């Protein structure tokens, strides 16, 4: 069933949330677009002008590492003042309802945590763009000092161990974080309500999670502005502005 009337959509969603004992909210870029964070696929997305450097090029070529950091900071400037939106606050409230509830996200903007969602219940499948890590030893680095040094020298940062320091996001060709993926799969299997919100549901293996939940008898509800390939699997599809749909749950 596809619902586009706002009151009908909100009532159906509220009923499903109220009846659930363990909820997974799976989020994509559509949750953050109202916050000023550009999505990857839209026609005028800055990600198209400044695409991330593939992982194999990053590790193979110093010039590519330098270019990766130049693009990283240019993109950061575009959404540096982004703050959580209605969807983030709604899902933070959802996580607070039950310690078994969790948020699985494809986003790298850290806005779920900023909105108040417990960090230990936010599972980031594609990493986090608000800090960096050494690819060799895993040491965490904050971005502000890296940027100061990079803008002064033009050289890509190196860790004290000699490893390459990279934004803590998952680049094309980089292995998925297996611990995060395993936690996401466990959550999908255990939940009784899986909410797919703001995701095109085309990027795998993350896009397999709604089907995994459905196969283990969870109710599947999709909230998105456009049609997705998994709409036919869902019990309900709520189509419209994500912030508008989730507004009643945000306060």
- State the Cα–Cα distance between residues 85 and 103, nearest whole angstrom: 15
Closest CA to 224 of 210, 239, 234: 239
- State the Cα–Cα distance between residues 71 and 92, nearest whole angstrom: 31
Tokens (6 digits) for 188: 């999908």
List the catalytic residue out of 88, 112, 126, 216: 126
Task: List Cβ neighbours of 57 (8 Å cut-off, separation of 6 or more).
Answer: 64
Asked if 108 contacts 128 with a C-beta cutoff of 8 angstroms, the reply is yes
Cα–Cα distances in angstroms (integers) from residue 156 to residues 78, 88, 143, 147, 215, in the given order: 21, 33, 12, 10, 45
- In the numeric block, the tokens 């509830």 are attached to 101
Residue 166 φ then ψ, to 5°: -135, 150
Omega of the bond leading into 205 within 30 degrees of 0 (cis): yes
Q: How many CB atoms lie within 10 A of CB 240?
A: 15
Catalytic, 216? Answer no
User: Active-site positions?
Assistant: 126
């Amino acid at each position: 069933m596809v619902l586009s009337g706002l009151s009908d959509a909100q009532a159906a969603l509220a009923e499903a949330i109220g009846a659930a004992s363990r909820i997974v909210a799976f989020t994509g870029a559509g949750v953050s677009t109202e916050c000023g964070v550009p999505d990857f696929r839209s026609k005028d997305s800055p990600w198209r002008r400044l695409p991330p450097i593939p992982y194999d090029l990053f590790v193979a070529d110093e010039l590519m590492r330098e270019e990766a950091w130049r693009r990283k900071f240019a993109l950061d400037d575009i959404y540096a003042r982004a703050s959580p939106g209605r969807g983030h606050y709604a899902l933070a409230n959802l996580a607070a309802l039950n310690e078994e509830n969790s948020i699985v996200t494809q986003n790298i903007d850290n806005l779920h945590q900023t909105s108040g969602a417990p960090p230990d219940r936010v599972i980031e499948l594609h990493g986090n763009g608000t800090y960096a890590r050494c690819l060799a030893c895993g040491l965490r680095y904050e971005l502000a000092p890296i940027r100061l040094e990079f803008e002064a020298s033009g050289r890509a940062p190196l860790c004290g161990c000699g490893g390459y320091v990279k934004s803590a996001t998952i680049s094309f060709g980089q292995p998925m974080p297996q611990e995060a993926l395993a936690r996401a799969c466990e959550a999908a299997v255990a939940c009784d309500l899986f909410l797919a919100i703001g995701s095109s549901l085309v990027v795998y293996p993350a896009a397999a999670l709604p089907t995994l939940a459905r196969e283990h008898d969870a109710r599947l509800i999709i909230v998105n502005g456009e049609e997705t390939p998994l709409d036919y699997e869902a019990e309900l599809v709520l189509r419209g502005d994500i912030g508008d749909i989730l507004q009643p749950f945000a306060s």
